[in-house]
Amino acid sequence: MAFSIPSFSSLFSRESKSVLGVDIGTSSIKVVQLRKEKGRVILETYGAIALGPYAGLEIGRATSLPVEKIAEALKDVIREANVTTADAAISIPYSSSLIAVVTLPAAVEKQLAQVVPLEARKYIPVPINEVLLDWFVISDAKTAGATGKMEVLIVAIHRDTIAKFRSIAGDAVLAAAFFEIEVFSAVRAALDHGIAPVAVIDMGAATTKFYVVERGIIRQSHIINRGSQDLTLAASRALGITVAQAEERKRRFGLSEQSPADLRRSLELSLAPLLSELSHTIINYEQHTNQTLGSIIATGGGAALKGFKEYAKTKVQAEVRPADPFGKTQAPAFLEKILKEAGPEFSVAVGLALRRLQEA
């Protein structure tokens, strides 16, 4: 249910404390422990654990577990991955948040503390006192001066969500330095600094999220209610095998050349509608903004499917490449291939740990 690599602490002198990124998804929990040494980011350990068995379901299935079960799984993966720090940063699901870019008169910049809550009421379907609000001015002073307008990114998270994740962290004896919406963590780990807009597709177990990122800012987001577990369930039905067997075959073969023909056909039939909707979303964005999305970065467990990149390229008119968050860390050379393959699934956890290293 979990895997880990040995702790590398003994291989390096300890010049700074370790930090932990914790990504709590619907089908698994991922953890990544990093530390910084002489300007280098050192990967100390990482691990993942499936949540399906904690709900009496198969590995790979999306779950809705109570706090105590999630905390139990988190403690298990912390132990099995040999995590040695309690200094953590934890992700908040995108579905539990609201992100909006709004345009306001530049003249109100000094009154944003009063203006933003009023503006946020237009987007938030619950009383404003039930959420935690944050905001950032994302347009530069030159643009604001020329147009008299400024763009503000508004982020809202329900207070009950924060309380839930604080409880999970406390039960797992972690000191949560901050909570961050998963999309920001994934973007930090998956993208390099650049000006041109880039698309990010995050394929989870139950849903697939699509973001357009420009200058580090999420410009557009879209949720597709299909994910990697749909591929498994469809393969189970098509091949007449158990869900557990279908998940195992999907992970082992995917869309690789070694994949049995019936499995490959089932996976392609399941992926086609998802990629068609993604392609339609991209075309709409490009037509609306008159900008071309040069590449798509694939994150999430579904993006780790063997052959996904090659198949996606046949359906989406853009370069598709898996995220390589571990490329921003240093680890023993013999792990390079393993970390590249596992990378998309660990983007959020790596992104959380990278931010915590910057702040620690």
Give the domain CATH number at 289: 3.30.420.40
Final residue before a domain boundary, out of 159, 180, 202: 159
In a domain, 21, yes or no: yes
One domain for residues 137 and 280: no
One domain for residues 103 and 73: no
One domain for residues 339 and 317: yes
pLDDT at 294: 72
In a domain, 14, yes or no: yes
pLDDT at 195: 64
**What secondary structure, in 3-state letters, does the chain show?**
CEEECCCCHHHCCCCCCCEEEEEECCCEEEEEEEEEECCEEEEEEEEEEECHHHHCCCCCCCCCCCHHHHHHHHHHHHHHCCCCCCEEEEEECHHHEEEEEEEEEHHHHHHHHHHHHHHHCCCCCCCHHHEEEEEEECCCHHHHHHHCEEEEEEEEEEHHHHHHHHHHHHHCCCEEEEEEEHHHHHHHHHCCCCCCCEEEEEECCCCEEEEEEECCEEEEEEEECCCHHHHHHHHHHHHCCCHHHHHHHHHHHCCCCCCCHHHHHHHHHHHHHHHHHHHHHHHHHHHHHCCCCCEEEEECHHHHCCCHHHHHHHHCCCEEEECCHHHHCECCHHHHHHHHHHHHHHHHHHHHHHHHHHHC
In a domain, 126, yes or no: yes
Final residue before a domain boundary, out of 159, 179, 200: 159
Q: Residue 88 is part of which domain span? A: 2-95+160-230+261-359
What total of structural domains would you count in the chain? 2
One domain for residues 90 and 134: no
In a domain, 109, yes or no: yes
> What is the C-alpha separation between 190 and 323, in angstroms, rounded?
5
- CATH number for position 112: 3.30.1490.300
> What is the C-alpha separation between 71 and 73, in angstroms, rounded?
5
One domain for residues 149 and 270: no
In a domain, 248, yes or no: no
Residues 200-232: pLDDT tens digits?
Answer: 999 999 999 888 887 777 878 888 888 999 999
Residues 167-184: pLDDT tens digits?
Answer: 999 999 999 999 999 988
One domain for residues 309 and 345: yes
pLDDT at 222: 83
One domain for residues 281 and 318: yes
pLDDT at 4: 33
pLDDT at 235: 96
pLDDT at 126: 83
Final residue before a domain boundary, out of 110, 130, 159: 159
Q: What is the pLDDT along the chain (360 residues), one digit of tens a residue?
A: 333 333 333 333 344 689 999 999 999 999 999 999 988 999 999 999 999 999 999 999 999 999 999 999 999 999 999 999 999 999 999 888 888 888 999 999 899 999 999 988 888 888 888 999 999 888 877 777 788 899 898 999 999 999 999 999 999 999 999 999 998 899 899 887 666 788 899 999 999 988 888 777 787 888 888 899 999 999 999 999 999 999 999 999 999 999 999 999 999 999 999 899 888 888 888 888 888 887 789 999 999 999 998 998 888 877 888 999 999 999 988 999 999 999 999 999 999 999 999 987
In a domain, 252, yes or no: no
In a domain, 235, yes or no: no
Q: What are phi and psi of 177, to 5 degrees?
A: -70, -35
One domain for residues 270 and 147: no
One domain for residues 45 and 76: yes
pLDDT at 7: 35
One domain for residues 265 and 333: yes
One domain for residues 215 and 133: no
One domain for residues 47 and 186: yes
In a domain, 330, yes or no: yes
Distance of CA 247 to the CA centre of its chain: 21
